[in-house]
């Protein structure tokens, strides 16, 4: 199915995967697809969402508020210390084996800037359904490819994921947004 995605739509999916990995969420959800849409400000979806007050920063902050951000070390450090793991001893051993500052290095990135460290996060059932619905929207609109707007329509049509909850929580009329996206495609 990804072969039918335009370059922008592919980049949205790639960015969604990166966001899930960066936030250390176990899987890519509809909320990460929403972040992917907002990460490409030149696209139809980003323009329509931004015009309604949904920015990348606002959506990400809401996701972190609801799901948390597993990248914060303080909570993890306290939890490990509570079960008897001395983090300073672990750091010393890692630096002895891998070199001073090994834990402080930036993660490796490919030519496009995508993170290379870590495995790919799997897609949640709702995110998979959203991408399937994006394909159905494209077919219904007689489009030969799947565009960013189709992904937004998929999020709206899926209707229960965190992506759509963020939109409705911001007071967005989904029916009105759906109509505007469909007419623009």
**By mean pLDDT, which of 45-49, 112-116, 121-125 is the weakest?**
112-116
pLDDT the model gives residue 76? 55
**By mean pLDDT, which of 65-69, 108-112, 135-139 is the weakest?**
108-112
- Model confidence at 40: pLDDT above 90: no
Q: What is the pLDDT of residues 86-122, one digit of tens each?
A: 656 766 777 677 666 655 555 555 555 554 444 566 7
pLDDT the model gives residue 116? 47
pLDDT the model gives residue 97? 74
Average the pLDDT over 9-27 and give the result.
Answer: 85
pLDDT the model gives residue 50? 92
**By mean pLDDT, which of 98-102, 141-145, 164-168 is the weakest?**
98-102
- Model confidence at 70: pLDDT above 90: no
Average the pLDDT over 126-133 and give the result.
Answer: 91
Complete domains list, the chain, with CATH = 2-70+111-184 (1.10.1780.10), 73-104 (no CATH)
- Please, what is the end-to-end C-alpha distance for the chain in angstroms? 19
Q: pTM value?
A: 0.72
């Amino acid at each position: 199915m990804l072969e039918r995605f335009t370059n922008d739509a592919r980049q949205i999916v790639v960015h969604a995967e990166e966001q899930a990995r960066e936030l250390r969420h176990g899987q890519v959800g509809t909320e990460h697809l929403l972040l992917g849409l907002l990460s490409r400000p030149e696209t139809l979806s980003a323009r329509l969402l931004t015009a309604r007050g949904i920015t990348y920063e606002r959506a990400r902050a809401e996701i972190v508020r609801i799901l948390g951000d597993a990248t914060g070390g303080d909570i993890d450090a306290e939890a490990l210390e509570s079960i008897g793991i001395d983090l300073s001893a672990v750091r010393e051993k890692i630096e002895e084996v891998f070199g001073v500052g090994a834990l402080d290095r930036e993660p490796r990135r490919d030519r496009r800037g995508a993170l290379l460290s870590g495995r790919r996060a799997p897609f949640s059932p709702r995110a998979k359904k959203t991408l399937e619905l994006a394909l159905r929207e494209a077919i219904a609109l007689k489009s030969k490819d799947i565009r960013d707007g189709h992904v937004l329509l998929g999020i709206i049509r899926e209707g229960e994921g965190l992506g759509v909850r963020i939109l409705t929580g911001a007071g967005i009329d989904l029916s009105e947004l759906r109509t505007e996206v469909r007419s623009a495609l």
